[in-house]
Amino acid sequence: MSLDGKNALVTGGGSGIGRAIALRLARDGAAVAILDLNLEGARQTAEDVAALGRGSFAVRADVASAADVEAAAREARQRLGPITILINNAGIGHVVAFVDTTEEDWDRMIDVHMKGAFLCAREVVPDMLQVGWGRVVSISSVAGLQGAAGFVHYSAAKAGIIGFTKGLAQELGRHGITVNAIAPGLIDTPILGKADLTRDVQQRMVRRSAVGRIGQPEDMAAACAYLVSEEASFCTGQVISPNGGMYF
């Protein structure tokens, strides 16, 4: 599934799923721009992409900031060329009871996930329309498919990603652009620790999975590799959920 000559932008690419996707895209031939609030992590990923012989650079950006996203997309276009692959991966998550959820908690969750996906797509979809080819893949969650106690704000944001995906797919399909989402289950990433899930809770979730293990970022990267490939040209508006057969 060659991506030679393609240029990708990966948000939240400094660690976890975003980093794994960036490296997989590079192995498949793409040049990759890495966006992350964690500039050190983004730079490390960019260095590793460059070591694979692909163009890459890192930029610190908050995907909830229109100014940050516009500047990052402009730099990506100048340094790599037209961006025809967008991976909306940047995300946050933490456990909080609904009655304890503050307005700030809610707004930040929605801004990072939903507004971030909107802003990034708004910047790079014109590139895709110009060349008549593009791939948008956004990271949702099983929580967005069926909800999760303690994650009401997160569930709402990830469900919004699915609606965004389906609507954008309908609008762009006739232009050679596919839009899909990945809804991971429990994945071993840094955000898992920040989500305040205790090891006991994690182990109970793993025991409910069919495969009996926690997912790895590379599992999500493999799904993404298909969705951005030419082989997936008939797949749009879909949600792939690699979750090991685990449901809340």
Band (pLDDT 50/70/90 cuts) for residue 9 is very high
| Residue 56 CA from chain centroid, whole number | 18
pLDDT greater than 60 at residue 195: no
| Whole-prediction pTM | 0.94
Q: Over the chain, what is the mean pLDDT? A: 93
The pLDDT of residue 193: 61
Q: Which residue in the list 118, 133, 151, 154 is annotated as catalytic?
A: 154
Query: 56-60 and 85-88 as β-strands: parallel, antiparallel, unpaired?
Result: unpaired
Active site (annotated) includes residue 154: yes
Q: How far apart are CA 117 and CA 25, in angstroms?
A: 19
The 10s digit of each residue's pLDDT in 21-77 is 999 999 999 999 999 999 999 999 999 999 999 999 999 999 999 999 999 999 999
Inter-residue long-range contacts of 49-54, CB under 8 Å, 24+ positions, other chains counted: 49/22, 49/23, 52/23, 52/26, 52/27, 54/26, 54/29, 54/30
